[in-house]
């Protein structure tokens, strides 16, 4: 059953490069919105001027566009709750903080960091809860005035209710947090800057978010946000508490949480290597969710059709690069040839291409493309697979040369050249038979016989199907390369 009232948000902070964990969060929110024909809100949480950057903001937008995760409200397109960058919403937060103070839901806390540390240590030593102890909860006007006379500045602290907070997580089921575990917490710094703890739920309330789907690392902030929400409802700022669902951790190497700093985690790496967005998203969707028991490869529309947050699994998910690559390879194969040709385009141009751009031959590329399409794991591999067509000479790779050129390779190459010279060049089968026959004359099976031919012609020991490659390269260039190899062997 779909629910068009669904409003979800993706609300990253523009710090550093986007990483795969973040993309998974964006994807699950987006798929949930699209499945329900609801609304995807994209909000930028850029209230931390010291850590946020414009460059990172641009990267986030660019990444979402590349991934094809579109949004219905947010940067550049606006919407009924604009602006969608928190740095442009400061007045709203100030207004809500004032209301919370006036209503007694929050209070000024004058404690210094040293005082808080000292009392925390003492509580720990006494085996008591070590969170904020409520010291400033009931200060009198006189006490406040005295603190201010000392030159102290106050933060704003939210007053947590004295009863437990219980909610039903969409992924984990019912969870209860006792007051001891959730002490009063800061929502505005002494310099007036509002904190994540305030701005995130305030915006969720103002933007009428119905479902908060985010990483498990944020689970501990949920009871605080629910308590804040209740206050906002009483103040008339919020309408209803959203449902929460916490997506499982993503584990990397050595069963450690994949961290933003892991090179494996950077979205840009996957883009640079030539993952298809749909291949990467297909893989990331499996981090905590599954399409069906026996199918791991599917299109994004198929995922959207099936996706339900209730089916997400709470157990940590392991990031498996090999599996990501193999799923990507499947998506490359699923493209129609024209789309494949187009997707490869950026890799065939400088700086990726290792040939003179003038020597690029579009007809040859289109002829070889279908053979490349079935063999690539990532698009960036295309250059090494087709460069033999566009380079004046094959790449020089000593290791490949030494591996293929054995004693007797010159004799074999000479025979192969003779037979290829008179073969039917419109048929890869005929070219194969020529090399097969040459091999027979020298007591070599096809595999052994074709290795020196391949290295002579392409410079590499592995590559696309050889006889199709020769056909596209043409008789003249193939024979000239075999001649050049024979010369090199003779010298």
Q: From the list ligand GLU, Zn ion, none, pick the one residue 13 interacts with, judged by a Cβ distance below 5 to 8 Å according to partner type.
A: ligand GLU
Question: Judged by CB, which is closer to ligand GLU: 214, or 481?
Answer: 214
243 binds ligand GLU, rule: CB under 6 A:
no
Q: Which of 34, 214, 224, 271 binds ligand GLU (CB under 6 A)?
A: 214
Q: From the list ligand GLU, Zn ion, none, pick the one residue 12 interacts with, judged by a Cβ distance below 5 to 8 Å according to partner type.
A: ligand GLU
Question: Judged by CB, which is closer to Zn ion: 136, or 267?
Answer: 136
Segment interacting with ligand GLU (CB under 6 A) among 10-18, 150-158, 226-234, 352-360 = 10-18
Q: Is 438 within 8 Å of 411 (Cβ atoms)?
A: no
Q: Is 163 within 8 Å of 182 (Cβ atoms)?
A: no
Q: From the list ligand GLU, Zn ion, none, pick the one residue 11 interacts with, judged by a Cβ distance below 5 to 8 Å according to partner type.
A: ligand GLU
Question: Judged by CB, which is closer to ligand GLU: 25, or 415?
Answer: 25
Residue 13 backbone dihedrals phi, psi, to 5 degrees: -95, 135
Q: Looking at residue 193, what DSSP letter applies? A: P
3-state secondary structure 317-335: EECCHHHHHHHHHHHHHHC
Q: Which of 7, 8, 12, 288 binds ligand GLU (CB under 6 A)?
A: 12
Question: Judged by CB, which is closer to ligand GLU: 245, or 459?
Answer: 245
Cα dihedral 253, 258, 261, 263, rounded to 10, equals 50
Q: From the list Zn ion, ligand GLU, none, pick the one residue 45 interacts with, judged by a Cβ distance below 5 to 8 Å according to partner type.
A: ligand GLU
Query: Contacts with ligand GLU in 138-177 (CB under 6 A)?
Result: none
CA 239 to chain centre: 33
**Contacts by residues 341-350 (CB-CB < 8 Å, ≥ 24 positions apart):** 341/365, 341/366, 341/369, 343/276, 343/379, 344/369, 344/372, 344/379, 344/382, 347/274, 347/379, 347/380, 347/382, 347/383, 348/382, 348/383, 348/386
What does the alpha-carbon distance between residue 457 and residue 211 come to, in Å, rounded to a whole number? 59
45 binds ligand GLU, rule: CB under 6 A:
yes
Q: Which of 11, 97, 111, 309 binds Zn ion (CB under 5 A)?
A: 111
**β-bridge partners, 251:** 257, 318
What does the alpha-carbon distance between residue 297 and residue 421 come to, in Å, rounded to a whole number? 45
What does the alpha-carbon distance between residue 351 and residue 362 come to, in Å, rounded to a whole number? 18
Segment interacting with ligand GLU (CB under 6 A) among 11-19, 266-274, 318-326, 383-391 = 11-19
Question: Judged by CB, which is closer to Zn ion: 58, or 112?
Answer: 112
Q: Which of 200, 328, 383, 409 binds ligand GLU (CB under 6 A)?
A: 200
67 binds Zn ion, rule: CB under 5 A:
no
Active site residues: 260
Query: Contacts with ligand GLU in 216-235 (CB under 6 A)?
Result: 218
The minimum distance between CB 83 and Zn ion, in angstroms, equals 33
Based on its alpha-carbon atoms, the radius of gyration of the chain, rounded to whole angstroms, reads: 31
* DSSP per-residue string spanning 400-452: HHHHH--TTHHHHHHHHHHHHHTS-TT-HHHHHHHHHHHHHHTT--HHHHHHH
Question: Judged by CB, which is closer to ligand GLU: 59, or 130?
Answer: 59
Q: From the list ligand GLU, Zn ion, none, pick the one residue 428 interacts with, judged by a Cβ distance below 5 to 8 Å according to partner type.
A: none
3-state helix, strand, coil in the chain (%, to 5): 55, 10, 35
Query: Contacts with Zn ion in 116-145 (CB under 5 A)?
Result: 135-136
Segment interacting with ligand GLU (CB under 6 A) among 5-13, 62-70, 231-239, 474-482 = 5-13
11 binds ligand GLU, rule: CB under 6 A:
yes
Segment interacting with Zn ion (CB under 5 A) among 108-116, 253-261, 279-287, 450-458 = 108-116
Q: From the list Zn ion, ligand GLU, none, pick the one residue 136 interacts with, judged by a Cβ distance below 5 to 8 Å according to partner type.
A: Zn ion
Q: From the list Zn ion, ligand GLU, none, pick the one residue 24 interacts with, judged by a Cβ distance below 5 to 8 Å according to partner type.
A: none
197 binds ligand GLU, rule: CB under 6 A:
no
Cα dihedral 219, 307, 289, 298, rounded to 10, equals -150
Question: Judged by CB, which is closer to ligand GLU: 288, or 428?
Answer: 288
Angle at 269 between CA 264 and CA 271, to 5 degrees: 140
Residue (of 157, 228, 230) closest to 187 by Cα position: 157
Q: From the list Zn ion, ligand GLU, none, pick the one residue 135 interacts with, judged by a Cβ distance below 5 to 8 Å according to partner type.
A: Zn ion
Task: Return the structure tokens found at 23.
Answer: 């993309």
Site residues, ligand GLU (CB under 6 A): 11-13, 45, 200, 214, 218
Site residues, Zn ion (CB under 5 A): 109, 111, 135-136
């Amino acid at each position: 059953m779909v629910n068009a009232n669904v409003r979800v948000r993706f609300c990253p902070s523009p710090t550093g490069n986007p990483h795969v964990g973040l993309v998974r969060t964006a994807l699950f929110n987006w798929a949930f919105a699209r499945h329900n024909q609801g609304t995807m809100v994209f909000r930028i949480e850029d209230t931390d001027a010291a850590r946020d950057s414009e460059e990172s903001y641009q990267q986030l937008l660019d990444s979402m566009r590349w991934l094809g995760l579109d949004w219905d409200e947010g940067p550049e397109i606006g919407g009924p709750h604009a602006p969608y960058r928190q740095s442009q919403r400061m007045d709203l937060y100030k207004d809500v903080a004032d209301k919370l103070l006036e209503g007694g839901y929050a209070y000024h806390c004058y404690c210094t960091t040293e005082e808080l540390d000292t009392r925390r240590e003492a509580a720990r030593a006494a085996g008591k809860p070590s969170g904020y102890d409520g010291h400033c909860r009931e200060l009198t006007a006189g006490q406040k005035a005295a603190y201010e006379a000392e030159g102290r500045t106050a933060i704003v602290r939210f007053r947590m209710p004295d009863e437990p907070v219980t909610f039903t997580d969409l992924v984990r089921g019912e969870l209860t947090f006792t007051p001891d575990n959730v002490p009063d917490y800061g929502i505005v710094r002494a310099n007036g800057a509002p904190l994540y703890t305030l701005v995130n739920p305030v915006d969720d309330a103002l933007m009428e978010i119905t479902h908060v789907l985010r990483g498990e690392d944020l689970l501990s902030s949920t009871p605080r946000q629910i308590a804040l929400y209740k206050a906002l409802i009483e103040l008339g700022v919020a309408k209803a508490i959203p449902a929460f669902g916490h997506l499982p951790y993503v584990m990397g190497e050595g069963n450690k949480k994949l961290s933003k700093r892991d090179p494996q985690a950077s979205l840009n790496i996957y883009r640079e290597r030539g993952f298809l967005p749909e291949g990467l998203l297909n893989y990331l969707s499996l981090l905590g969710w599954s399409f069906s028991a026996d199918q791991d490869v599917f299109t994004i529309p198929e995922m959207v059709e099936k996706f339900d947050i209730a089916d997400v699994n709470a157990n940590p998910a392991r990031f498996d690069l090999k599996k990501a690559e193999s799923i990507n390879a499947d998506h490359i194969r699923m493209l129609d040839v024209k789309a494949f040709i187009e997707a490869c385009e950026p890799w065939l141009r400088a700086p990726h291409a290792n040939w003179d751009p003038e020597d690029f031959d579009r007809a040859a590329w289109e002829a070889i493309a279908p053979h490349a399409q079935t063999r690539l794991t990532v698009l960036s591999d295309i250059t090494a697979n087709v460069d033999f067509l566009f380079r004046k000479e094959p790449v020089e790779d000593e290791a490949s040369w030494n591996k293929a050129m054995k004693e007797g390779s010159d004799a074999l190459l000479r025979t192969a050249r003779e037979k290829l010279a008179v073969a039917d060049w419109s048929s890869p089968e005929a070219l194969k038979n020529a090399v097969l026959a040459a091999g027979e004359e020298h007591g070599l099976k096809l595999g052994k016989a074709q290795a020196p031919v391949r290295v002579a012609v392409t410079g590499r020991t592995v590559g696309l199907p050889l006889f199709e490659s020769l056909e596209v390269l043409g008789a003249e260039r193939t024979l000239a390369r075999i001649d050049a190899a024979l010369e090199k062997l003779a010298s």
